[in-house]
Amino acid sequence: MNYPNGNKKKATHASSSNNQKQSFSNRGMRLEDDINQTNAYYLAKDIAVIHKKPTPVQIVNVDYPKRSAAVIKEAYFKQASTTDYNGIYKGHYIDFEAKETKNKHSFPLNNFHDHQIEHLKSVDDHGGIGFIVVRFNQLDRTFYLPAMKLFSCWERQYKDGGRKSIPLHVFENEGIEVPVGYPAIVDYISVIDQLFFK
C-alpha cells in the first residue's frame, strides 16, 4: 500500500469488512505521527497545506571524524517554540498544538507554556483558526478544543484554588471529538469545516 508520504506498507491478508473498519488510532502510534500522516494526506489531495514547525536549534559543537559521520555534540534551543503545526486551509491561517495524556478524566494544564498560550492568543486576535488537539490515550479518544476554550481554562487556574487541569467533560461539552479513520487518521479538517465552513 502506498501512503501519501511515499512509504510502502505490506498488505495484510485479512480482508474482512470488520478489519477495514478498525480504529486506526489504536495502532500504537503517537498522536504526532497520526497528525503527520493526516497532513501528508491533506497535502497529497490538495485539501490543505499544514506542516509541523521545526524546533529552532542552534548547533554549537560538531564532531567530524569524517564528513559522512558528523555527530552533533552540543546544541541549544534558540528560542521557545510556539505551537506544533501551522498552515493554510480555504484561505484561513491554521495554528494548533497537539498533546496526549494517559489520564482518563482530565488533561493537565502544565503541558502548556505561557508563550504557547500567548502565541495562540495572537493567532486568535489576528483572525486565524487556533486550537488544540488532545488525545486521551487510555480512552482512545481525540478532541479538538478551540483556543478560546483553552484560554478560559488557563486563566481560571490562577484564581484562588483554580483547577490545574481541563476536565474530560470540557472536551466533551465544549470541544468536538475528532473522527478517526483512514486515510485522514486524525481528521481535524472535518471539525474545522463543521465549525467554520458549514
Extents of the domains making up the chain: 20-196
Which tops the pLDDT comparison, 14 or 41?
Answer: 41
The answer to whether 109 and 165 are in contact (CB under 8 A) is yes
Residue 21 has pLDDT above 60, yes or no: no
In the numeric block, the cell 534558540 is attached to 78
Q: How far apart are the first and last CA of the chain?
A: 33
- Residue 27's pLDDT is 43
20-196 CATH pick, 3.30.70.420, 3.40.50.720, 3.30.470.30, 3.40.1350.10: 3.40.1350.10
Which tops the pLDDT comparison, 28 or 187?
Answer: 187
C-alpha to C-alpha distance for 194 and 27, rounded to whole angstroms:
27
- Flag whether the pTM goes above 0.95: no
Per cent of the chain over pLDDT 90 is 61
pLDDT tens track for 41-78: 999 999 999 999 866 556 667 777 776 777 766 655 55
- Residue 38's pLDDT is 97
Determine whether the annotation assigns residue 82 to a binding site: yes
Which tops the pLDDT comparison, 79 or 131?
Answer: 131
Q: Which of 1-5, 53-57, 101-105 has the highest mean pLDDT?
A: 101-105
Q: Which of 7-11, 12-16, 168-172, 181-185 has the lowest mean pLDDT?
A: 12-16
Gyration radius from the chain CA atoms: 19
Determine whether the annotation assigns residue 84 to a binding site: yes
Residue 28 has pLDDT above 70, yes or no: no
- Residue 152's pLDDT is 92
Determine whether the annotation assigns residue 97 to a binding site: yes
